[in-house]
Amino acid sequence: MPSPKPPHHPPASASPGQRPDAALSAGPSEAPSEAAAEPAPPGPSAPQGTGWLWATLLALCLGFIISQAFRTVAAMMAAPLQQTLGLSASQLGLFAATFHLAFGGLQIFMGVGIDLYGIRRTLLCAWPLTVAGALLSASATGYASLLLGQTLVGAGCAPAFLACTVFIARQFPAARFAALSGLIMGLGGLGLLLTGTPLAWLIELSSWRVGFGVLAAGSALAWLAVWIWVREAPQTGPRPEDSVLQALRSMGPLLRLPHTAGILALAAVNYAAFITLRGLWLGPLLMDRHGFTLVQSGHVALAVSVIGLLGPPLFGRLPVQGAQRRRWILRFTLGLSALFAVCGLSPLASLTVLASLVIGFLCGFIVLQYADVRAAYAPEQTGRAMALYTMAMFLGIALMQWVTGWSATWAQAHGWEVYQAVNLTVLLMLLIGALLFRMLPAPDAARH
């Protein structure tokens, strides 16, 4: 691996197949916003050689792992939170949604911050919010303080994966971007594993407060790792003149394109369906309907997370493009809908577990949606399109978790089975997204 040569690094926005001035594209978990230009050198200068590259990348990856854990804590904490704080199902849904609302809403702001001030400085400023939010959540005595804690956690985690991918784009050859980003996404999946059996065991042994306390300690270690190991090579060139307001204005032309609405409609539901199941309702469903213990539910969540790591690299190898790719995206979405029908209607625990495992694997097809986005826009628009797509995806998670919480409360009040209502709500939202994706205009590149 060649040593980095700062004067020749691509800007934060570079990625394979993009122009150097296009913002960075990202993977399914957390994606970057549009890059503005080369940042001024923030913090200590990076040493020469390759060892510091890997030390820095691993330190950044630790933060991404922690953010993935926070994303899915609600599945194991739902029942204990309801017992301790007396939360309703709709309150539980909003609790899970708050993280994604804060996280998704700040993607563009964090991207601009990294371009203006650098990776190290942005993380050192943002990440303490994660620690504070986790501690506030651990000590919460009511619903309001719990929501505030989740808001702080989501805001602090917002730059986690973005920092990893920007660093890869700046410091490694472009030909290695896809492989290294995939590696980081795989390592980030360790966070999902932590909120399966290990978190369930910890909560059963102690309490959900201790679970948040452990995550707060892990967040503090992630901040310390950034402070000790993250260094950025000195950059040459003028300081960027872009601003948050200019970045937001740059989204206008994308939103006016006729095919953007359909792309965003499907973006808001597919990954949201997986996270709504894995990150919120899977534990309560298995415990309340099928009599699983918390630890047994944790085993299933762990298995779903492991299988979920296998899907993206396999679906990414499908030789489809253009209109054919969009047809496959629709077919996979309909298949996902059918699986949620099984989860909602099946009285058999074995069938529910099997459907959940297949959902975990099948959701890997969202890598095809990323490819569809990259093909749908001009090279100079790709980064902004990816940022907009990512915001839609995570705000969609917040919306779906809140709506399913509301539907669960409505079902309780009208004598319906709660998890039937939850899963059928997810199914309905998937079908609406698929219908809009199919009926609204397609990009020119996908019409033949």
Is residue 233 over pLDDT 70? Answer: no
Where does the pLDDT of residue 48 fall: very low under 50, low under 70, confident under 90, or very high at 90 and above? low
Of 7-16, 121-130, 189-198, the poorest mean pLDDT is in: 7-16
Q: Per the domain annotation, does 1 fall within a domain? A: no
pTM score: 0.78
Where does the pLDDT of residue 24 fall: very low under 50, low under 70, confident under 90, or very high at 90 and above? very low
Q: Per the domain annotation, does 419 fall within a domain? A: yes
Is residue 76 over pLDDT 50? Answer: yes
Give the CATH number, domain containing residue 433.
1.20.1250.20
Residue 372, classed as helix, strand or coil, is helix
Q: Per the domain annotation, does 371 fall within a domain? A: yes
Report pLDDT for 31.
41
Report pLDDT for 21.
37
In this prediction, residues 127-142 reach a mean pLDDT of 96
DSSP string, 377-411: S-GGGHHHHHHHHHHHHHHHHHHHHHHHHHHHHHH
**Average pLDDT score over the chain:** 83
DSSP string, 202-271: HHHHS-HHHHHHHHHHHHHHHHHHHHHH--B----SPPP---HHHHHHTTHHHHHSTTHHHHHHHHTTHH
For residues 235 and 201, the model is more confident at 201
CA-derived radius of gyration, the chain = 21
Q: Per the domain annotation, does 389 fall within a domain? A: yes
Q: Per the domain annotation, does 42 fall within a domain? A: no
Where does the pLDDT of residue 32 fall: very low under 50, low under 70, confident under 90, or very high at 90 and above? very low
- Residue 359 is inside which H or E element, if any? helix 349-362
For residues 162 and 179, the model is more confident at 162
Of 62-71, 386-395, 435-444, the poorest mean pLDDT is in: 386-395
Is residue 28 over pLDDT 70? Answer: no
In this prediction, residues 295-321 reach a mean pLDDT of 88
Residue 54, classed as helix, strand or coil, is helix
For residues 16 and 277, the model is more confident at 277
Is residue 355 over pLDDT 50? Answer: yes
Alpha-carbon distance of 289 to 344, in angstroms, equals 11
Is residue 45 over pLDDT 80? Answer: no
For residues 394 and 371, the model is more confident at 394
Structural domain range at position 251: 24-37+49-446
In this prediction, residues 267-274 reach a mean pLDDT of 95
Q: Which amino acid is at 123?
A: L
Which range, 27-41, 142-156, 309-323, has the best average confidence (pLDDT)?
142-156
Is residue 8 over pLDDT 50? Answer: no
**pLDDT digits 0-9 by tens, 141-160:** 999 999 999 999 999 999 99
**pLDDT digits 0-9 by tens, 381-419:** 766 777 788 888 889 999 999 999 999 999 999 999 999
Q: Per the domain annotation, does 64 fall within a domain? A: yes
Q: Per the domain annotation, does 19 fall within a domain? A: no
Residue 254: name the closest of 376, 370, 103 by CA: 376
Q: What is the number of structural domains in the chain?
A: 1
Length of the chain: 448
Q: Per the domain annotation, does 386 fall within a domain? A: yes
Give percent of the chain with pLDDT exceeding 70: 83
Q: Where do we find the tokens 């059996």? A: 197
**pLDDT digits 0-9 by tens, 93-129:** 999 999 999 998 888 888 778 877 888 999 999 999 9
Are the C-beta atoms of residues 414 and 239 closer than 8 Å to each other? no
Tokens (6 digits) for 160: 């986690």
